[in-house]
Amino acid sequence: MPEAPRVPSTARHYAQAVFDLAEQEKDFSAWQRRLQLLRELLEKGDLGQTLAEPSLRIAQKLELCRAILERDAGIDQPARNLLLLLVSSQRQRLLPAIQEAYRELVDKREGRVLAQLTTAIPVSQAEQKRLAAQLSRRLNVEVRFEATVDPSILGGAVVRVGDRVFDASLTARLQQLRQQLLAQSAN
């Protein structure tokens, strides 16, 4: 099953700030792009590792970042500032979490939610749409799916919306049957 990304509360504060900025600019996608670019920058090469190095002083790390950002034309000023801010307080590792929290905020604003759909065998787009429509009606928000395949659930489907799971998998049903039979034998 896909591991849910963990978002610590500090990341939420940064995400909220970024979201407020984006709201002022009335352009949510620009920040989404910026966060994605910064994340790629940190993950590609060994920049992320170098920045985590405890033996380097923060001033040195900031200098290193500036030098790299000079050469990378794709990253604009607000994005640069965010990265430098994060590096100066040793929080560049929060970036994926900030991206995730930002996406959640945008989704909430637009009245949508990203749900994880897990099935034992791949399901067609049409089926996904049908399921999403059903779920949307029930939860009163627009549901989009991120589909994964996990044969270990045997059959059925597991849907995760945030922390909530709707487990209609065969394993869960077998588990329930097992418990009922055991409860029966205990009496």
Largest CA distance in the chain: 74
For other proteins, which is the closer residue by CB, 3 or 24?
3
Structure tokens at 93: 């590792």
For other proteins, which is the closer residue by CB, 62 or 172?
172
For other proteins, which is the closer residue by CB, 66 or 138?
138
Report which of 36, 161, 159 is spatially closest to residue 102, judged by C-alpha positions: 36
Binding positions for other proteins, rule: CB under 8 A = 1, 3-4, 6-9, 160, 162-168, 172-173, 176-177, 180-181, 184, 186-187
Least Å distance, CB 38 to other proteins, is 23
Least Å distance, CB 146 to other proteins, is 16
Least Å distance, CB 4 to other proteins, is 6
To the nearest 10 degrees (0 to 180), the angle between helices 28-43 and 95-110 is: 160
Side chain identity at residue 73, one-letter code? A
Least Å distance, CB 166 to other proteins, is 5
For other proteins, which is the closer residue by CB, 17 or 166?
166
Least Å distance, CB 145 to other proteins, is 17
